[in-house]
Structure 1
Amino acid sequence: MMKHWIVESDVDKNKSYPQIVDAAKFLQQDEVVAFPTETVYGLGANATSDSAVGKIFEAKGRPSDNPLIVHISNKGQLNGLVAHIPDVAEKLIDAYWPGPLTIIFEKKAEVFSEKVTAGLDTVAIRMPDHPVALAIIEAAGLPIAAPSANRSGKPSPTTADHVIDDLQDRIAGVVDGGETGVGVESTVVDCTGAVPVILRPGGVTKEQLEEVVGAVEVDPSLKEGKGAPKSPGMKYTHYAPDAPVYLVDGTRADLQRLVDEKKAEGLKVGVMTTAEYLEEFEADLILSAGRRDDLSTVAHHLYDTLRAFNRSDVDIIFAEMFPEEGVGLAIMNRLQKAAGYRVIKG
């Protein structure tokens, strides 16, 4: 039976918590344990063990060519994990660790399970900004591979209940530290080349990165999701509810017209919008993901909103689009993947 540990989200790093000690022992025994981070709940396992990492892929139903992010609890661990730390990576670490930023390094040989890196010469590493996550990693004394703790392709989990819904009896346990903060996963930046490249937008924006290191590029394959993935989240449909999602690149009148057409066909239709426009649509289910004037609220509630559609009986979902600036770049990346890149022009 899956263990369900409940712990206060603001644990004191100077105290010992039996729930965290217990969860860490499971990780040391090559079991898989879910825990909260500042972005979403992660599904953790010993990153050096083929057996442990294999359990992540089995639990999630995740494609084996999709690499994992390794989580650490202190900067000192890096030296034993990567071949070297480029100057640009040092600057980003100083600015944004701990935090929702994952950095791609050249990996040190014979440290990680090949299942973590999908056979690549690089490894993705971050230090989460959540006291529960840091305490678990520290107590385990291991680098922890941890993708989002959901079934592959489904919306990422921002509460322990989401994890239980998706992975009940498929993993050893979940540490319940309450609702997560940022709501979308970490930004992934490749620092192995001359110019840093964003492989996945997330909680640290392109603009924030450029404040620290100057020019930062965005991998063009983000728009299509094509090619061999160099980072988690670069390939395959992700974050999708059960009903098909279509993004509407047009006016709210265009979106309502699409709703009316599908309702005339006898379908139950859902609309994902924002608080400002909640009263402007007529559909079977209309949900707000946050406020358009504060896109951080949309990032925070995005996955919970997508999961709410799963709890309904809608047949199709139409979603508004957002400007691809700041955290809007991450929001649109997740929505495009949830929609399988289906966009209807108004």
Structure 2
Amino acid sequence: MAQFFVVHPQNPQPRLLKQAGQLLADGGLVAVPTDSSYAVVARLDDKPAADALRRLRGLDERHHLTLLCRDLAEIGHFAKVDNRQYRFLKMATPGPWTFILEATREVPRRVSHPSRKTIGIRVPDHKIALALIEAAGTPLMSTTLIPEDEEDPMNDGQAIYDRYANQLAAVIDGGACVLAPTTVLDLTGASPEVVRRGQGDLSTLGLD
């Protein structure tokens, strides 16, 4: 059964996040609030956990998993970033944006897109999510917590626990999230391409 942690959204309790980080290190999946919705996360280096994450969501290998990073420097370790892309990322992080970038060799093949070798990557603007990444000591694979065959993400920690207590190692209840998806921007081309419109004002990034 999953553990249930009630965490303050502005002042996350380090002791609870450390426990959740250990559960990730032990191969578990953890539900965590972010600046877009609740997500399910696993360690990047854990293949069985990645497979379990995909099963929980009913996803195939062509669905981009998103890598949650602590900061811009960490993005540069897992994605190939040129000067133009770096300036754009610096403008946009942290925030409700997901970027499609070419993955480096540090990214396991099971996480990147099988044909394009790209990765979805972002720095969430949410204190609990960032504290969990810090506690885990590594970027985390993530996917929005949308039940299989449904369209809307779950937004209540207790409801997530009631539904997934046997599939998750922990639920971090930090209160309700914004419940709007990130905007997805593909940065692999000559200019940024909007793949999905969500949160964030595109005009602040010089885009329509």
Q: TM-score, normalised by structure 2?
A: 0.90
* Aligned counterpart, 1:61: 58
Q: How far is 1:213 from its partner?
A: 3.3
* Aligned counterpart, 1:341: none
Secondary structure of the 1:35 match is: strand
Quick one: which of 107, 122, 127 aligns to 1:131? 127
Instruction: Report the structure, 1 or 2, having the larger helix content.
Output: 1
Q: How far is 1:165 from its partner?
A: 4.2
The alignment status of 1:20 with 2:7, answered yes or no, reads: no
Quick one: which of 108, 123, 133 aligns to 1:113? 108
What are the residue-to-residue correspondences of 1:172-187 with 2, within 5 Å? 172-181=169-178, 183-187=179-183
User: Residue by residue, what CA displacement relative to the aligned partner does 1:220-278 show, whole Å, maximum 9, x if unpaired?
Assistant: xxxxxxxxxxxxxxxxxxxxxxxxxxxxxxxxxxxxxxxxxxxxxxxxxxxxxxxxxxx
Secondary structure of the 1:45 match is: strand
Q: Alpha carbons of 1:105 and 1:203: their partners in 2 closer, same or farther (altered >3 Å)?
A: same
Partner Cα distance (1:59, 1:4) in 2: 18
Quick one: which of 161, 167, 171 aligns to 1:170? 167
Q: Alpha carbons of 1:64 and 1:162: their partners in 2 closer, same or farther (altered >3 Å)?
A: farther
Could you tell me which amino acid in structure 1 is paired with residue 132 of structure 2? Answer: I
Quick one: which of 157, 182, 198 aligns to 1:202? 198
* Aligned counterpart, 2:4: 4
Q: How far is 1:38 from its partner?
A: 1.2
* Aligned counterpart, 2:94: 98
Partner Cα distance (1:29, 1:196) in 2: 38
Query: How many residues get paired?
Result: 206
Q: Alpha carbons of 1:46 and 1:9: their partners in 2 closer, same or farther (altered >3 Å)?
A: same
Q: Is the 8 A contact 1:81 1:107 kept in 2?
A: yes
Quick one: which of 68, 76, 80 aligns to 2:77? 80
* Higher relative contact order structure (alpha carbons within 8 Å, sequence separation ≥ 6): 2
Q: Alpha carbons of 1:132 and 1:198: their partners in 2 closer, same or farther (altered >3 Å)?
A: same
Unaligned runs of 5+ in 1: 217-346
Q: How far is 1:86 from its partner?
A: 4.6
Q: Is the 8 A contact 2:113 2:119 kept in 1?
A: no
Partner Cα distance (1:101, 1:92) in 2: 11
Q: Alpha carbons of 1:167 and 1:150: their partners in 2 closer, same or farther (altered >3 Å)?
A: farther
Q: Name which one, 1 or 2, has greater alpha-carbon Rg.
A: 1
Partner Cα distance (1:90, 1:29) in 2: 34
* Aligned counterpart, 2:47: 50
Quick one: which of 156, 177, 187 aligns to 1:191? 187
Q: Is the 8 A contact 2:147 2:154 kept in 1?
A: no
User: Residue by residue, what CA displacement relative to the aligned partner does 1:265-313 show, whole Å, maximum 9, x if unpaired?
Assistant: xxxxxxxxxxxxxxxxxxxxxxxxxxxxxxxxxxxxxxxxxxxxxxxxx
Identical-residue share of aligned pairs (%)? 25
User: Residue by residue, what CA displacement relative to the aligned partner does 1:10-69 show, whole Å, maximum 9, x if unpaired?
Assistant: 126xxx621100001111222111100011001000123222211101222222321111
Q: Is the 8 A contact 1:30 1:49 kept in 2?
A: yes
Q: TM-score, normalised by structure 1?
A: 0.56
Secondary structure of the 1:116 match is: coil
Secondary structure of the 1:11 match is: coil
Partner Cα distance (1:201, 1:191) in 2: 15
Secondary structure of the 1:34 match is: strand
